A and B are shown apart, each in its own frame.
Chain A
Amino acid sequence: MIKTLADIIEEHPFFKGLEKSHLDLIAGCAKNVHFQEGEVVFREGDPADLFYVVKQGMVAIELMVPQRGFTTLQTVGAGDVLGWSWLLPPYQWRFGARTIEATRALAFDAKCLRGKCEKDHDLGYELLKRFSHVISERLEATRLQLMDLYGVGA
């Protein structure tokens, strides 16, 4: 049986527990995408008009540092969410993203989803709860990275 986008979304841990009506609304803003190895997914400063849920592969979240080049801040892989700048004004990517491996993902139209969240606050709240969890995990990871845990005396 061929799976619909709603089926794929329903099975994904990020969307676990969402009502069927919400899954259908979300699926209406989703599409399957594929990136080759080394492909840019989005660039720092560009409009954050999509976000992604990675199904397969690995993506580096990176920042261009003058004199140093591109620095990878974190990698995300299968099951992870890529991008939350679409949630908050000015809806611009704060960091860039580039694939390390060929990557398959679900891409979600941010404008479409923001519109649906404005109309249906229950959906908005459910998504916000899930993204808050992602943001909190990323913040925790960043704090640990900043601690330079593996250095002498850590």
Chain B
Amino acid sequence: MIPLAFRIERLRQDTHDTFTMDLTPPAEFSFAPGQFNMVYVFGVGEVPISISSDPAQKSSLQHTTRVVGTVTKALKRLKKGDAIGIRGPFGSSWPVEEAVGRDCLIVAGGIGLAPLRPVIYSVLAQRQRYGRVVVLYGTRTSEDLLYTHELENWRGKFDLDIQVTIDRGGREWRGHVGVVTGLIARASLDPGNTVAMMCGPEVMMRFSLMELQRRGVSPERVYLSMERNMKCAVGFCGHCQYGSTFVCKDGPVFRFDRIAHLFGKPEI
């Protein structure tokens, strides 16, 4: 529960409102794809941020976040060599093992690609263990795309299908324009043998779920990452209560059929 001091190695601006921090932990740091840390800016406050780096890298880690509040604004002002407090890793993880032997569909919207990036690293590290791997990624404009160099590299691989779509673009954009749900309909997958993992705005996930259902992907094989205000990260404070679960402890990654009765309910 006590934060450890991690050193900032680099701060990189990804988009106009999003940046990535490279951190050096005081000792080897292990995490599972999908987990998050509580990131503490001394004297300012603490926020939950998902870990976006390669889980195989134990001596460094990355957090990608959007500048939305006091803490993330303070984070962005920090420099190389500054220390921040980290508690974690917390929460559940993506079903990387369960997806072995199956087709793997990753659906990300906006900053939702950050918590899914460790899945892509993990799957690529053992690519032969998976069937078809499809990554569908939607953002507002081409300027809002995260990890553009990696997307280009991944796209160059013959065993990974990366489809990117934006909500609006000019003639300079040569890719898809439209919502990410439209890409699900076209994804080359065996729906009966697919594990889907998605992270993004809840409305996007709601419509994506409908499309997955239409294609015949079983709700037991659909996983999504939920977002709620978190404080303690260990299920004590109740800030992130989601029905009978806590997003910090039981999530953030949930199997859809287990939260289907809660998902999209305006009261929850």
Contacts and interface: CB of A to CB of B under 8 A. Distances in A.
B110 A70 contact: no
Interface string B197-226: 000110110010000000000000000000
**Interface residue tally of chain A, by bracket?**
20 to 34
A77 interface: yes
B17 A73 contact: no
Nearest to B66: A152
B79 interface: no
Contacts of A151: 140
A82 B201 CA distance: 29
Given A144-B207, A145-B178, A150-B110, A72 B173 contact: yes
B166 to A, nearest CB: 9
A72 B170 CA distance: 6
A60 interface: yes
A85 interface: no
A60 B68 contact: no
A149 B173 contact: no
A74 B178 contact: yes
B213 to A, nearest CB: 15
Nearest to A78: B186
Interface string A129-154: 00000000100110011011111101
B171 A69 contact: yes
A95 B253 CA distance: 41
B179 A141 contact: yes
B110 A149 contact: yes
A26 interface: no
A95 to B, nearest CB: 12
B139 interface: yes
A153 to B, nearest CB: 8
Contacts of B261: none
B169 A72 contact: yes
B169 A71 contact: yes
A5 B1 CA distance: 68
Contacts of B73: none
A75 interface: yes
A75 B109 contact: no
B176 A75 contact: yes
A62 B66 CA distance: 30
A100 interface: yes
Contacts of A148: 140, 167
A144 B171 contact: no
Contacts of B140: 148-151
B177 interface: yes
A58 interface: yes
B109 A149 contact: yes
A151 B138 CA distance: 12
Contacts of A77: 176, 186
**Nearest 3 pairs between A and B by C-beta?**
A150-B110, A72-B177, A144-B179
Interface of A: 58, 60, 62, 68-75, 77-79, 98, 100, 137, 140-141, 144-145, 147-152, 154
7 contacts: A74-B177, A75-B177, A78-B186, A137-B182, A144-B207, A150-B140, A150-B144
